Amino acid sequence: METQKQKLVIIGNGMAPGRMLEHLFDLTDAYEVTIFNAEPRVNYDRIMLSPVLSGDKSYADIIIHGQGWYDEHGITLHKGEKVVEIDRVERRVISDKGTVEHYDKLVIATGSQPFIIPVPGKDLPGVLAYRDLDDTEAMVAAAKKGGKAVVIGGGLLGLEAAAGLRLRGMDVTVLHLMPSLMERQLDEASGYLLQRALEARGIDVKCRANTKAILGADKVEGVELEDGTVLEADLVVMAVGIRPNSGLAKEAGIEVNRGIVTDATMRTSDHAIYALGECAEVDGRVYGLVAPLYEMAKVAAHALAGEETSGFKHSETPTKLKVTGCDLYSVGDFAEGEGREDIVLRDAQRGSYKRVILKDNKIIGAVLYGDVADGGWFNEMLRAATDVSDMRDTLIFGQAHQGGGSFDPVAAAAALPDDAEICGCNGICKGQIVQSITDKGLTALSEVRAHTKASASCGTCANNVENLLKAVLGDAFEKKAEGMCGCTPLGHGEVRRLIKARELKSIPEVMQELEWSSPEGCAKCRPALNYYLVSDWPGEYEDDYRSRFINERVHANIQKDGTYSVVPRIWGGKTSAAELRAIADIAEKYDVPEVKFTGGQRIDLLGIKKEDLPGIWADLNEHGMVSGGAYTKGLRTVKTCVGQEWCRFGTQDSMGLGIKLEKFLWGSWTPAKLKLAVTGCPRNCAEATCKDIGIICVDSGYQIVYGGAAGLHIQGTTELGIVATEEEVIEITAALTQLYREEGFYLERIYKWADRVGYNRIKTIVLEDKEARRELHDRFVFSQKFAQVDPWAERVAGKDAHEFKPMAEFKLEAAE
Amino acid sequence: MNAQVENWVAIGPLSEIPRQGSRRVLWGQIKIAVFRMSDDRVYALEDKCPHKNGPLSEGIVHEGCVTCPLHNWVISLETGAAQGADEGQTRTFPVRVEDDTVLIAF
């Protein structure tokens, strides 16, 4: 019963059609197969290109189907021939070399093509993509000459390319547009760990790097970024993403969306034509990892053989990075959302991070870095939709901790021998801790820390100490909220100290190293961390826009109706007719509903619409006025009286000194707002004795006072000392402000800080110890270099422009 | 939950919304805050806190929620419900991303 074989033509010779043919030949011999391959070679394993690049493997090692396999199955393979037309009416395809093949069934497996960013210089010799063996070989050849490589794209492919080139001896820089690496597969915390690991092997990583142009005359010489940075480069690899190759199908009139649209059996809108691999789109999704592509291959083979198939179903595919020493595993959905819970385990010492995302007691995603041993186990439960309620307390510790009695961290702490070391930094054993808890009646972590020093250094054992407290006190233990927020048991003081001690320089870094229990922090800790980093690393840390309150983001004060108030700086409260006229004109021009004097002698324009802010600022700038900082956790105002210039009692130039101080201090970030006053005599018209810092002019010089409060809490200032000259006033004020900046907790006013650390101590440091005073002053001056930028002028010039206008506006007809 | 109205309107490219941030869209008199998460998930809510009508688009975004800038109420971006001890709910709008374009159903 020999029947005429049907003709099956396949466009593309990648891994997906290769796998499909293996299945097909197992099921049937009904087809005579012809393959067009634009590449001049047989089917090889593209996943293994990274080992070829790094030198671990050769092309021969990664061939999947050798020529013999094609011969054995009677396949006609047109190597190096690209199909240029599908003629659906005549059911034939035509190649660029003029070959014409008729088909009964056609399979399109054209894969994808790298996305090339449309920047000048993208076509220069030396600019490569990373898709196939030709690219890989070109990279290997370039690396032989050594020099510098720039890889654009910090995703899977980009990082593998970077690691390979580095192993081949090139100086490698990775540019990534997003704030953290592999942001599609990793959250910020694991992205940070990955970045650190890559940097440790000598790869320079630049995030938020936007490529502007590739430079060079007749070959690549460098890369220019949007911010003006120029990097030298002998080789540029673009690995910013892929696009399904669907042009051929589209021209033939087959339905194409992002990819070639197929049903669950991989059949396109033309029922004689199938599509699979990276070019296919099933149920709205396109794929780039091999597991789903192999699944498509299996389904398509069954469909072609006329066998029953349950069809292609989406399933989560884990991501792994093939870079030795960078162990990461990511699967499923790790977005935040309603009803989702995160379980996070961070081990700073081992540089590991584990996060499992649950919804309705089922795992929906997992991100692991460092210790990835349990990735498969989590994925298995994800696929099986296992209910994990019984083991959720111990889930994150992994499979080894399940079964045979659940893992209870408190019980585990109780079971430790007395000589088990709990705090490695201070060498404190369990016995000592338990003894002080019982002997001294301790009930809180902070007390244990004060009495034993356990967890007082690096703080990573805090959880263990707390478990011991629970074990000893049982139900009597009540966790006290002593951390800066629910995301960490560490208080502000410890966090500040550890940021300095361990040189932590970004928010994700702090969260990882200090073992935050939430992936992104909260509205309490993020602004605090942002302040600590700005204050501790001037010039190095760039403030995180997303972690600031709206007032400090748009540089105006939000009001109860959502409008803003605008307060221009009026130095020392001294204005002029011209300045007042300008403000009046601007108030009229923008129809400002209310104009008022503030408690700090400034003019407040109230009721400004957000979209009018840049305009009003531009006008104020034009008349020489900058932001009054009325919204900042920083210098607000220096209030003055007229002083000896006019007043018959005045003793010094209080107005002049106030202006000097305001010009010196403006722009600095402090833990909370900072208000000053300079008053010309002890009659105190400028009310200096209830300010954060006050200067009272007297005949013999200047009395400096600080730590006043006149808000919810009322407290008079404390004297710091009397000095003879304005220069000393300025130096001491800077030193005091700087000490407060370095030690204060976020939102802690200067009086609270001083109450906490002691007025005598402060006096010793900023008044008596002249060397310490000078150093603090110098650090303040240094940080001001980066802080004294008028935020209004920056925004008038276009910074954060998106803040001030709606993204879209739809005007509705008044009909309804 | 069959939406009766399928009035999807494109409001612009995803890239115009900052990650962990928000942009405002005006639909006649209604102000809508469109949020983008770190992983590019988007949500659309009426730009009005159920407490005292604070503009949610101006809040800090964290863990699937936004904290209102006026009085620190925490609102779920998915359901619009106030979190914790507070009670109230903000209207949400269906939103999706297609080829980098954000669409809202009004």
Tell me, what's the pLDDT at A565? 94
Residues of A in contact with B18 (CB under 8 A): 545-546, 802
Q: For A582-607, how does the pLDDT look when each residue is reduced to its tens digit (9 = 90+)?
A: 999 999 999 999 999 998 999 999 99
- B100 in A contact zone (CB under 8 Å): no
Partner-chain contact B64 A562, CB within 8 Å: no
Tell me, what's the pLDDT at A404? 45
Nearest to A340 among B26, B53, B64 (CB): B64
Tell me, what's the pLDDT at A478? 65
Pairing outcome for strands A273-275 and A105-108: parallel
Summarize the confidence of residues A286-299 as an average pLDDT: 88
Give the three-class secondary structure for A230. strand
Contact A729, A723 (CB under 8 A): yes
Task: Compute the nearest-CA separation of B9 from chain A (Å).
Answer: 10
State the CB neighbour count (10 A cutoff) for residue A692.
27
Task: Compute the nearest-CA separation of B97 from chain A (Å).
Answer: 12
Partner-chain contact A188 B70, CB within 8 Å: no
Residues of A in contact with B67 (CB under 8 A): 522-523
| Percentage above 70 pLDDT, chain A | 96
Tell me, what's the pLDDT at A308? 84
Partner-chain contact B63 A526, CB within 8 Å: no
Residues of B in contact with A802 (CB under 8 A): 16-18, 23
Q: How many CA atoms does the CB half-sphere of A503 hold within 13 Å?
A: 1
Partner-chain contact A807 B60, CB within 8 Å: no
Whose structure tokens read 């993208």?
A122
Across the A:B interface, residue pairs with CB atoms under 8 Å apart total 111
Tell me, what's the pLDDT at A770? 93
Cα separation, A505 vs A529, whole angstroms: 10
Tell me, what's the pLDDT at A459? 61
Task: With residue A618 as reference, give the H or E element that holds it.
Answer: helix A613-622
Smallest CA-to-CA distance from B106 within B1, B29, B6, B24 is with B6
Nearest to A523 among B19, B62, B76 (CB): B62
Nearest to B62 among A178, A522, A558 (CB): A522
Nearest to A338 among B12, B67, B78 (CB): B78
Q: For A238-255, how does the pLDDT look when each residue is reduced to its tens digit (9 = 90+)?
A: 998 889 999 999 999 999
Nearest CA in chain A to B24: A806
Smallest CA-to-CA distance from A284 within A318, A251, A320, A244 is with A244
Lowest mean pLDDT among A55-59, A377-381, A433-437, A719-723: A55-59
3-state helix, strand, coil in chain A (%, to 5): 35, 25, 40
Partner-chain contact B64 A558, CB within 8 Å: no
Task: Kindly report the average pLDDT of chain A as a whole number.
Answer: 89
Of B17, B60, B68, B90, which to mutate for an interface test with A (greatest number of A Cβ within 10 Å)?
B60
Query: A406 pLDDT exceeds 50?
Result: no
Tell me, what's the pLDDT at A474? 80
Highest mean pLDDT among A118-132, A385-399, A766-780: A766-780
Long-range pairs, A759-763, Cβ under 8 A, ≥24: A759/A707, A759/A718, A762/A720, A762/A736, A763/A720, A763/A721
Task: Compute the nearest-CA separation of B106 from chain A (Å).
Answer: 11
Query: A460 pLDDT exceeds 70?
Result: no
Nearest CA in chain A to B35: A807
Tell me, what's the pLDDT at A815? 43
Summarize the confidence of residues A609-635 as an average pLDDT: 93
Partner-chain contact B21 A522, CB within 8 Å: no
Partner-chain contact B59 A338, CB within 8 Å: no
Q: For A108-156, how does the pLDDT look when each residue is reduced to its tens digit (9 = 90+)?
A: 999 998 888 899 999 999 999 988 888 999 999 988 888 999 999 998 8
State the CB neighbour count (10 A cutoff) for residue A67.
12
* Domains in chain B: ranges and CATH: 20-105 (2.102.10.10)
- B83 in A contact zone (CB under 8 Å): no
Give the three-class secondary structure for B105. strand
- Cα four-point dihedral sign A151, A157, A161, A167: positive
Nearest to B64 among A337, A551, A806 (CB): A337
Partner-chain contact B61 A546, CB within 8 Å: yes
Partner-chain contact B28 A562, CB within 8 Å: no
Nearest to B24 among A337, A548, A806 (CB): A806
- Taking only the tens of pLDDT, chain B with its 106 residues reads 444 556 889 999 999 999 899 999 998 889 999 999 988 899 999 999 998 899 999 999 988 899 998 888 899 999 999 987 778 999 999 999 998 899 999 8
Summarize the confidence of residues A398-419 as an average pLDDT: 69
Query: A42 pLDDT exceeds 90?
Result: no
Nearest CA in chain A to B104: A808
Tell me, what's the pLDDT at A241? 87
Cα separation, B17 vs A353, whole angstroms: 29
* Domains in chain A: ranges and CATH: 6-112+244-304 (3.50.50.60), 127-240 (3.50.50.60), 327-407 (3.30.390.30), 411-511+521-542 (1.10.10.1100), 550-627 (3.90.480.10), 635-789 (3.30.413.10)
Tell me, what's the pLDDT at B2? 45
Whose structure tokens read 């966790």?
A479
Instruction: Give the A-side interface with B, CB within 8 Å.
Output: 178-179, 183-184, 187-188, 258, 334-340, 342, 518-523, 526-527, 545-551, 553-554, 558, 560-562, 802, 806-812
Nearest to A526 among B21, B34, B62 (CB): B62
Partner-chain contact A546 B37, CB within 8 Å: no
Lowest mean pLDDT among A179-193, A412-426, B51-65: A412-426
Strand partners, A595: A605
> Regarding predicted confidence, which is higher, A805 or A36?
A36
Residues of B in contact with A187 (CB under 8 A): 38-39
Alpha helices in A744-810 (DSSP H): 750-757, 759-763, 770-787, 791-796
How far, in Å, are A19, A572, A602, A606 from residue A596 at the CA level? 76, 17, 8, 8
Contact A273, A266 (CB under 8 A): no
Partner-chain contact A523 B12, CB within 8 Å: no
Tell me, what's the pLDDT at A225? 93
Residues of B in contact with A336 (CB under 8 A): 37, 41, 63-65
How far, in Å, are A574, A605, A668, A680, B3 from residue A600 at the CA level? 12, 14, 18, 16, 54
Q: For A711-769, how does the pLDDT look when each residue is reduced to its tens digit (9 = 90+)?
A: 878 889 999 999 999 999 999 999 999 999 999 999 999 999 998 888 999 999 999 99
Tell me, what's the pLDDT at B1? 42
- B76 in A contact zone (CB under 8 Å): yes
Residues of A in contact with B23 (CB under 8 A): 802, 806-807
Amino acid A283 reads D
Lowest mean pLDDT among A91-95, A372-376, A652-656: A372-376
φ, ψ of residue A122 in degrees (nearest 5): -65, -20
Of A333, A807, A812, which to mutate for an interface test with B (greatest number of B Cβ within 10 Å)?
A807
C-alpha of A436 from chain center: 42
pTM (predicted TM-score)? 0.65
Tell me the ipTM for this assembly: 0.80
Query: A498 pLDDT exceeds 60?
Result: yes
State the CB neighbour count (10 A cutoff) for residue A79.
15
> Regarding predicted confidence, which is higher, A464 or A434?
A434
Amino acid A121 reads G
Task: Compute the nearest-CA separation of B98 from chain A (Å).
Answer: 10
Nearest to A522 among B12, B54, B63 (CB): B63
